Every structure is written in C-alpha cells, then in structure tokens.
Amino acid sequence: MTSTDEGKWTRSDGDSWDIVSSVGYTALGVSAQRAVESERPDALIADPYAKHFVLAAGEPHLIETITKRDAPQASPFEYLRGMGMRSRFFDEFFLDAAASGIRQVVILAAGLDARAHRLPWPAGVTVYELDQPEVLAFKDRVYAEQGAEPTSDRRAVAVDLRDDWPAVLTAAGFDPSQPTAWSAEGLLPYLPAAAQDLLFERVVELSAPGSRAAIEGPTGTLGMSQFAKVEQKYRSEKDTFGKIDITELFYDEDKTPPVEWFSARGWNTQGLDMFELADRYGVQYPDVPDDIRELAGAMHYLTCTLPA
Ligand code: SAM
C-alpha cells in the first residue's frame, strides 16, 4: 500500500511500510507538525529539514498542512502544541546526556527525526537511527537532495524493532560497554505488548551504567482505547492526521507502563506530563474540554537513568 488514498490500514505481524503508508505516514505527519512549529515566532524547536521531508513525500494533505494553514491550530490536539513540546523535551534530553559525557545515542523508531543533523552535538557523538528500511531510504534521499551534512556521526540502521535489532545495531558499531542515551518517541502505541516488553528488555541488556532513556508513554491510567475515543470525538479533516485514523494503527493491549518497567529494574525515573512541559517551556495552556485535559495529563515524558 503506498498512498493515503487507500484509506484504512490494518496491522499485522511483520508488516512493513514506506513513508506514505501505515505507520510510515505517522512519521511524515509529525514531521509536518515540526515544520509548523519551527515556523512559529515563538518556536520551541528549529527543524529546518521537516518541511523538506513533507514536500518531497508529495502527500497533498500534509503539504497543505504546512503551506496553507489558515490557523495556527486546527484541532484541540494541535492547539496544545504537543509536538513542539515533545520535540523540545527530547532535544534537551539528548543535549543534557551529551553534556554529561555520553557519546552514544540510539534513536528507536527515528522516522524523520533530524536530530543527527540539527542538534549542536559535541565532537565524537555517534547517533544510531533505527527504523524500517523504506523510511530510512526516503530520509537519506531527501538529505542527499538537500546536500545536508550531519552534525554527528550518523548511522542509519534499517531494521524492524520487532526483529533482532540488537544484532544489526551492534554490527553497525554500537558498543554496549559504553553508556548510551536512548529515545522512544512516538513509538509505543505502534508496538504489540510483547514487542514493547522485548524492546525494553533489550534496551536494559544493552545499557552500560550511566545510560539514560527518554520515553514517551502513557501512565497506567491511560489505555489506547481511551485515547482512540477522544481522538475520534474531536478529529477533523483539517488535522495533520485528518486523512487517516491513526488509532487504527495502535495496538490496544495491556502494556506495562514504561515507568514501572524501568524503575523495577533499578533505573531512576522522572516523569513530566504535558502540563508540566507547558510550564517548563512557557507555553500558555488553553482551556480544553475535560476529556482532552485528562488525556494530556496521562501522557508522560519520562527520563530514566541507570546509575553509573
Ligand atoms: N520518533 C519519530 C518522531 O518522533 O518523529 C517517528 C515517530 S512516528 C509517529 C512512528 C515511527 O515508528 C515511524 O517512523 C515508524 O516507521 C516507526 N516504527 C513503528 N514500529 C516500528 C517497527 N516495528 N520497526 C521499526 N520502526 C517502527
């Protein structure tokens, strides 16, 4: 399947996608949101590549999202500026980790995350980007067209995160004896529960003392069906994801909340919800209906640290 015109996407074990289909399309959608955030006068991030990804993919609705946006906020979700705050949180996480001396970074499900090209990394940082082959091939093509130079030693690792990715990562040069900064941003809803457990197990196994992980994930109180209900209630054609129902791509299964998983294994954890992020970044939070407020409060931005 190669285009959103085909509408519905059904998930299955071992499914794959390109940048305009299934879970690949979600990477393009969040890139569109980063492009919009980057253009704001009070932007929380600067992602000069985001718009080029969207333009190169040629998907009309997302091109319209970044070029003809008549209002800065299309849906209740988007006016919360979630993507700006989320991106800024992960930017700060990585720069703090690098400032503390960590030189190995693994971005799980990197999608069109351009941090390997846009963050001011200190010398000697290697950034491994893991995602499906066609997503990374598209990204490489756009970087080549833009003549983009990474600000780190970037290594694209084409792999499915439900497969044996540690072997592929190690073959690309990853060194488990060195502390690592990991991220899982916009990933967990798309993994079955067993695959999420296995992913975390592998992260823990590959982490030397002093490693850190930043994870976007629900607290125990938020089920994906609750997210889906609110999404469906408020979604509009104008949304970034107005042409698809992203909740069809989620695995709504009982999953161990990341905070519980990591704290049970000796990692120190600190979680922030959207409102705390808004306070941190000086974002004025608008009045929103209670169900949206509840949703925003239940999505956590977690920093986990394995003591050195
Ligand atoms: N982290 C990126 C960001 O925030 O911009 C991308 C987030 S996007 C919503 C979800 C990403 O997860 C897509 O790039 C998709 O290809 C990737 N993904 C989901 N399941 C995956 C899997 N099993 N293996 C590899 N990549 C996966």
Tell the residue nearest (CA) to atom 26 of ligand 1: 131
Judge whether residue 202 has pLDDT over 70: yes
List pLDDT tens digits, range 9-47: 889 999 999 999 999 999 999 999 999 999 999 999 999
Mean pLDDT of 250-256: 87
SS3 130: strand
pTM of the model: 0.95
Q: Hey, which of 190, 224, 247 would you mutate to test ligand 1's pocket, going by the most ligand atoms within 8 Å of its Cβ?
A: 190
Mean pLDDT of 197-208: 98
N-terminal to C-terminal alpha carbon distance within the chain: 46
* DSSP symbol at 188: G
Strands of the 153-158 sheet, one edge to the other: 153-158, 126-131, 104-108, 180-184, 212-218, 299-305, 268-273
List pLDDT tens digits, range 223-247: 777 778 888 888 777 788 877 888 8
108 C-alpha to ligand 1 centroid (Å): 7
Count of Cβ atoms closer than 10 Å to residue 65 Cβ: 24
Judge whether residue 1 has pLDDT over 50: no
Give percent of the chain with pLDDT exceeding 90: 72
Give residue 2's pLDDT band: very low, low, confident or very high (50, 70, 90). Answer: very low
d(CA 140, CA 116): 12
Q: Which domains does the chain have, with CATH numbers?
A: 79-306 (3.40.50.150)
d(CA 228, CA 246): 9
C-alpha pair distances (Å), 172 with each of 154, 158, 166? 11, 10, 10
224 C-alpha to ligand 1 centroid (Å): 17
List pLDDT tens digits, range 294-303: 888 888 999 9
Between residues 240 and 108, the one the model is more confident about: 108
Give residue 71's pLDDT band: very low, low, confident or very high (50, 70, 90). Answer: low
Which residues sit with their C-beta closer than 6 Å to ligand 1? 23-24, 26-27, 30, 109-113, 131-132, 135, 160-162, 185-187, 190
Give residue 7's pLDDT band: very low, low, confident or very high (50, 70, 90). Answer: low
